Amino acid sequence: MGVQLPTAFVKRMEQLLGDEFEAFMAAYDHTPHAGIRVNTLKIPMEAFKAISPFELRPIPWCSTGFYIPYGTKPGLHPYYHAGLYYVQEPSAMSPVELLDVAVDEAVLDLCAAPGGKSTQIAAKLQGSGVLVTNDISAERTKALAKNVELYGVRNAVVLNESPDRIAEAFPHFFDKILIDAPCSGEGMFRKDEDMAKQWETHSVEKCVVMQRDILRVAASMLSDGGRIVYSTCTFAPEENEGMIAEFLEAHPDFEVIPVPLGAGFASGHPEWVSEEVASAHPELRGTARLWPHLVEGEGHFIAVLQHQGSRAVAAEKILNMDAQRPRGKQHLSVVEPLTRSGQSRHAVGESKRNKKDGKPGKGATARGFEGSRSRSGKEGLKSAARASHDVMESYRQFVQEQLEMSFAGYTVVYGDRIYQSPLSSHRLDGLKVVRPGWFIGTDKKGRFVPSHPLAVALRPSEAVRSINLSSSDAEAIRYLKGETLSIPVQRITLKNDAQPKGYVLICIDGYTAGWGKWQDGMLKNEYPTGWRWTSV
């Protein structure tokens, strides 16, 4: 056996599994399964299958997920840098599928880093509604924000907060909540041997305390009639069926929705907690366990919790709360969205959640928000107002000259940075905000510089200039490495009689990857240093 498993863990699993124990242990002699999930925000499923550089085999529980051969390196292909797929462990794709996300919903991914499940939720929203994605670790939110940006998500807010603080700002707000709970990680021992080594210090008992609090707070953020999916990557019944039993005792207005048991999914085991729990809550057999000896994936537990109530009641509460909630100090400046002409108005196609959320407020304090600057008194407010006006002017000019689109949501000016947010500003008042929305760009002394996240979330048709590079040509990799390219003017696709000189949206096989600046046959590379191709 390649993995050195903790002795106490092995003894417990032998006691629980009985006749299945030998098959379970034999699974640790097998290599882990590799998977990718197609990012349908950027490419339709059939289109990806037609151009896939990998051999694909469908993952039964995820319609956009595929097994790829073990040893394949999907991160070493230009399509990865274009955000066409996310590299994800196959079992980890299952919780979001059971969340049953629909367009125009408000969804919270509460323990989100590094962001795989958030990008999966975003693909299901297809740019509508709002996704709030959070992690309590400031360091881990760096990867979370980067993945949200790489995969072209336009309607996400990234937070670095405790669940209690989020609950204060979003009572009864979300239609769906995903809790991929911090856990002892037993299901990942085969994939990550370090988790087996850390098991005794990262104990079941410590995890249970965190999980209990997270579930309690999540219930207060769910709208009436909403759904919570609770998942772990551990086998410990205390963290799984035991935790759900506690939750149901405290929240009788929730019920367990049985998980379909096809594709190798096994039922829950409330008797592993105690006979009393099994007798009181037979519905816990409707939870699901993914075992490495039964599915081609690692170990997982999933419970689907449905609130038995009317969503309309929650909607009325949200409207009343928005009308009554006091506004914070003016650290964020908020205006309405921009159209192609540079006019400020509500964009066509704004989600019903934005309409429900009310008009933009005068601003919000975003504690811990990157790039924070503060001034005191009237002088500071006047200076901030002048700066915001100048930034907006350069932004309007860029939109009018460079883009063929309208922005939905709310335009947030923070210092010299501009974001498009799916939420009005007072929703974020007092929270640690990593990204209030889609990062559009930066004003540099009256000149607007578009961001990389803007580029990768655009479609080629939304820019007045674009250049297509081929993934089969070294030119694409040279671009991803940050090199200057020689590009003749004939290769630039121009719209509306635009001149070739200026910002150009760079595409790889027709899918957006970043910016360049073209002049006199040379393409200056605008691909950011921290995102560049670093492999040989």
315 is in an annotated binding site: no
Average pLDDT, integer, range 136-164: 97
State in Å, rounded, how far the first CA of the chain is from the last one.
33
Is the C-alpha dihedral spanning 37, 41, 43, 44 positive or negative?
Answer: positive
111 is in an annotated binding site: yes
Is 460-531 CATH 2.30.130.60?
A: yes
135 is in an annotated binding site: yes
Active site residue 207: no
115 is in an annotated binding site: yes
Q: What is the pLDDT of residue 427?
A: 85
- For CATH 3.30.70.1170, the residue range(s) in the chain are 31-88
Residue 338: pLDDT over 60:
no
CA atoms of 67 and 35, how far apart (whole Å): 4
Beta strand spans in 127-182 (E): 130-134, 156-159, 174-180
457 is in an annotated binding site: no
Residue 366: pLDDT over 70:
no
Q: How confident is the model at residue 389 (pLDDT cuts 50, 70, 90)?
A: confident
Query: Which tokens go with 316?
Result: 């009325």
Q: Indicate the pTM of the whole model.
A: 0.88
Residue 359: pLDDT over 70:
no
Q: Which fold has domain 94-307?
A: Rossmann fold (3.40.50)
Query: Which tokens go with 423?
Result: 């939420």
Which CATH number does 31-88 carry? 3.30.70.1170
Percent of the chain with pLDDT over 70: 85
114 is in an annotated binding site: yes
Q: How confident is the model at residue 160 (pLDDT cuts 50, 70, 90)?
A: very high
Q: How confident is the model at residue 194 (pLDDT cuts 50, 70, 90)?
A: confident
| Amino acid found at 260 | P
CA atoms of 441 and 332, how far apart (whole Å): 15
Catalytic residue among 183, 207, 233, 507: 233
Half-sphere exposure of 5 (CA within 13 A, CB side): 23
42 is in an annotated binding site: no
- Contact call for residues 148 and 435 (beta carbons, < 8 A): yes
CA atoms of 248 and 488, how far apart (whole Å): 65
382 is in an annotated binding site: no
Q: What is the pLDDT of residue 325?
A: 36
Pairing between strand 34-38 and 465-469?
A: unpaired
- Contact call for residues 266 and 16 (beta carbons, < 8 A): no
- For CATH 3.40.50.150, the residue range(s) in the chain are 94-307
Residue 535: pLDDT over 80:
no
284-325 pLDDT, tens digit each: 999 999 999 999 999 999 999 999 986 444 444 444 444 433
Q: What is the pLDDT of residue 192?
A: 81
- For CATH 2.30.130.60, the residue range(s) in the chain are 460-531
Q: What is the pLDDT of residue 2?
A: 66
416 is in an annotated binding site: no
Query: Which tokens go with 124?
Result: 């299901």
